[in-house]
Chains A and B, each alone.
Chain A
Amino acid sequence: MQRTLNGLAAAMLLGAASPAGAAISEGGQPGDPQQVSRTIDIVMYDNYFEPEQLTFAAGETVRLKVRNEGALVHEFNIGTAAMHEAHQGQMQMMVDHGVIQGDHLNHERMKMDMGGGHTMEHSHANSLLLEPGQEAELVWTFASADSLEFACNVPGHYQAGMVGGIHVE
């Protein structure tokens, strides 16, 4: 099989262990729950978001309540297009290793030691990975940077259009 683990791909998992440092500086950062100005509901369907466009004031801290109403696993991830693209490599690995199995996550495999103490646990500060029916939230402070997107990086979903725009005023 060509689609197997190789050294290069394994190295990409490092990103999963160190919560996407670049993501935080470019897209904003985890926010202080005390500073939340409002709560925004985001619903994930197969394979799209509702709403598909979000607007914030620069520096605004919001609570993003994300619910997966689809039948498949979906991700909610804040970043630039380039960050999403980089993250898609990791997500492909999670599929190749049976961590993401269409409609559910294999939590055992997620904890599998990939070497060097790294696992495939999806613990990024800027994202949520949800099984069907699950709900979770992120508190996020948006920086002034533009060209931000919220996206699902489960393989193929971003390309199929499961991505929305973030406008920071």
Chain B
Amino acid sequence: MLSKGVAAALALLPLISWAGEYNLTVDRVTIDTGEFRKQGIGYNGASPGPILRFREGEDVTIHVTNNLDEPTSVHWHGLVLPFQMDGVPGLSYPGIAPGETFTYRFPIKQAGTYWFHSHSGFQEPDGAYGAIVIEPQGREPFRYDREYVVQLTDKHPHSGDRVMRNLKTSADYYNRQQQTVGDFWRDSRERGLAATLKDRLMWGDMRMMASDTEDVQGFTGLINGKGPEQNWTGLFQPGERVRLRLINSSAMTYFDVRLPGLKMTVVQADGNNVQPVTVDELRIGVAETYDVIVQPKEDRAYTVFAESMGRSGFARGTLAPREGMQGEIPELRPAPLLTMADMGMAHAGMDHGDMASMDHGSMNQGDMADMDHGSMNHGDMAGMDHSNMNHGEVAVLPADPFYAQGSGLIPQAYNDGRFLSYADLRAQKPLYEDREPTREIELRLTGNMERYIWSINGIKESDAEPIRLQYGERVRFKFVNETMMTHPMHLHGMWSILDVGADQWNPVKHVVSVAPGTTVYMETEVDAPGKWAFHCHLAYHAAAGMFRTVIVEGGPEGGDS
């Protein structure tokens, strides 16, 4: 017990250290999306779990009690901490056995929006996730009147184990957008029989389909655990600045997020401040976070609309001046179709007939980040991109250097306005001094769609050697995506400095999304000893083998604990 005098004196100390204690239980819960109910896993009796609110500089103690009849784990996604506290069974620790309590203790050395989730089996897709909000020590480089966590997920009626079994049996089990015989005859009428036949044979040779954008469809999009009909609602007073902490906790789904009638000013990406950029729409990859500020000025409801990248589903919520109000729910836009560009074909200009025998690995998309955007010629694109013509869109597409030229996935804002690109992101304040990397490591993102094997450099995790890094080096990772899926690559424990060609202003992230047919670079200051996970954050891709163990050798003895 502190006397009033002592408490007042303590309050005056500028560097008072906080020590918060938190409790989480891991429980069997019922999840109700409004469209279906299922048994799942949650924290403190609910899915999603609670929002954990920490302060920068705080020493946290978190007791996690496992009430399941199977082992569990909690990973603090995006937090910089000693590897023993990172929550990956087999790397950080053995995990948490049924009935046991594990106590995490680590200092909070950062601020921003993050999340936590189980790193065991498919507990995360089954509901074991929650949000983390860390208040900064100093003033933030932006201002707002109120804030909401907007945590997205793709809730599937099947359990994660069942989804994986079905994918292993038939990789297109959940692909409902397969092209039909009807599509074939329609394309034949529009483009001629020979061209259509050739196109179909080409895709057949690749063991892929142009509609393979989302390999797990049939989900219901949730915002903070609420389905579209349950309509999560955040209140505002007209004129207020509202900070939305967007978190994509999906197992598999990228979302295109917009609030029709409002512009979003992006102020944080993956918890790190970025120089503010105002957009109409943004794509949030799996496991990414974006903090945006919106300023609704009218006394009406605004819909928060998150369409899946493959347009097979959506999440919906509302910002409104009063409870019970609803905005208009937009129609889903047509599903994108992948193009040859998404298979790394765009730059080759070769005879398509030869494609099946081509070595995709040898194709280099060039150094995109250093590309002069102004000199990019899009005049050729419409002619190249046959699939897009199905939607009657022959218009010149905006070039986002983080998609293959002519890609069917290049996003366009709903109102033809500005769509956020990675190329728009600039660190608000550089976290590290810029320096030359000490070496480059190439990671080819590879897979066999038919057998649902996903791998790195053609080797799945169970057959792979760990990646060994030396403490103190700065490694440049080169991702070459040789698949036609988009992979959100997540390195634990150390920051991913995404190369957007801005040197010391390159944004600092924890997930780097790599679109099909592209090469993307990121650099990492190797400043955290220990064993870390490095994987595609699509739950079923990681489980299928697109995963690497990273061992950081040297540095402070036995890790940073």
Residue numbers of A with Cβ under 8 A of B are: 1-4, 45-48, 71-72, 102-103, 155-157, 159-162
A3 proximity list for chain B (CB < 8 A):
398, 418
State whether the Cβ of B373 lies closer than 8 Å to any Cβ in chain A. yes
Q: Are A159 and B374 in contact (CB under 8 A)?
A: no
Q: Are B277 and A155 in contact (CB under 8 A)?
A: yes
* Docked pose: A160 CA to B428 CA in angstroms: 12
Provide the B420-445 mask, 1 if CB < 8 A to any CB of A, else 0: 00000010110000000000000000
Q: Are A160 and B376 in contact (CB under 8 A)?
A: no
* Docked pose: A103 CA to B427 CA in angstroms: 11
Range for the number of chain B residues in contact with chain A: 20 to 34
* Docked pose: A156 CA to B265 CA in angstroms: 6
A156 proximity list for chain B (CB < 8 A):
265-266, 275-278
State whether the Cβ of B549 lies closer than 8 Å to any Cβ in chain A. no
* Docked pose: A72 CA to B374 CA in angstroms: 24
* Docked pose: A155 CA to B266 CA in angstroms: 11
**28 A-B interface contacts by CB (under 8 A):** A1-B374, A1-B398, A1-B399, A2-B398, A45-B139, A46-B141, A46-B428, A47-B141, A47-B142, A47-B276, A48-B139, A48-B141, A48-B142, A48-B143, A72-B275, A102-B426, A103-B505, A155-B277, A156-B266, A156-B276, A156-B277, A156-B278, A157-B276, A159-B263, A159-B295, A160-B141, A160-B143, A161-B144
Contacts between the two chains (Cβ within 8 Å), count: 62
* Docked pose: A10 CA to B431 CA in angstroms: 37
Q: Are B428 and A161 in contact (CB under 8 A)?
A: no
B24 to chain A, nearest CB (A): 33
State whether the Cβ of B267 lies closer than 8 Å to any Cβ in chain A. yes
Q: Are A1 and B293 in contact (CB under 8 A)?
A: no
A159 to chain B, nearest CB (A): 4
Residue numbers of B with Cβ under 8 A of A are: 139, 141-144, 241, 263, 265-267, 275-278, 293, 295, 373-374, 376, 378, 398-399, 418, 426, 428-429, 502, 505
B369 to chain A, nearest CB (A): 15
Most buried by B among A3, A4, A156: A156
B267 proximity list for chain A (CB < 8 A):
160
Q: Is the interface of A mostly helix, strand, loop or mixed?
A: loop
* Docked pose: A2 CA to B424 CA in angstroms: 13
Q: Are B429 and A161 in contact (CB under 8 A)?
A: no
Q: Are A161 and B426 in contact (CB under 8 A)?
A: no
Q: Are A1 and B142 in contact (CB under 8 A)?
A: no
B144 proximity list for chain A (CB < 8 A):
161
* Docked pose: A160 CA to B241 CA in angstroms: 8
* Docked pose: A160 CA to B275 CA in angstroms: 9
Residue of A nearest to B428 (CB): A46
Beyond A2-B418, A48-B141, 5 extra complex contacts between A and B, CB < 8 Å: A1-B376, A48-B139, A48-B142, A159-B278, A160-B276
A114 to chain B, nearest CB (A): 15
B142 proximity list for chain A (CB < 8 A):
47-48, 160-162
* Docked pose: A106 CA to B139 CA in angstroms: 29
> Can you list the 7 inter-chain pairs with the closest CB atoms, starting with the nearest?
A161-B143, A156-B276, A159-B265, A160-B142, A160-B276, A2-B398, A47-B141
* Docked pose: A77 CA to B385 CA in angstroms: 46
B263 to chain A, nearest CB (A): 7
B143 proximity list for chain A (CB < 8 A):
48, 160-162
A72 proximity list for chain B (CB < 8 A):
275
Q: Are B293 and A159 in contact (CB under 8 A)?
A: yes
B426 proximity list for chain A (CB < 8 A):
102
A46 proximity list for chain B (CB < 8 A):
141, 428-429
A4 proximity list for chain B (CB < 8 A):
374
B374 proximity list for chain A (CB < 8 A):
1, 4
Most buried by B among A2, A102, A156, A160: A160
Most buried by B among A4, A47, A72, A159: A159
B141 proximity list for chain A (CB < 8 A):
45-48, 160
Q: Are A71 and B418 in contact (CB under 8 A)?
A: no
Residue of A nearest to B502 (CB): A102
Residue of B nearest to A156 (CB): B276
* Docked pose: A102 CA to B277 CA in angstroms: 12
Q: CB < 8 Å: which of B265, B399, B418, B429 contacts A160?
A: B265
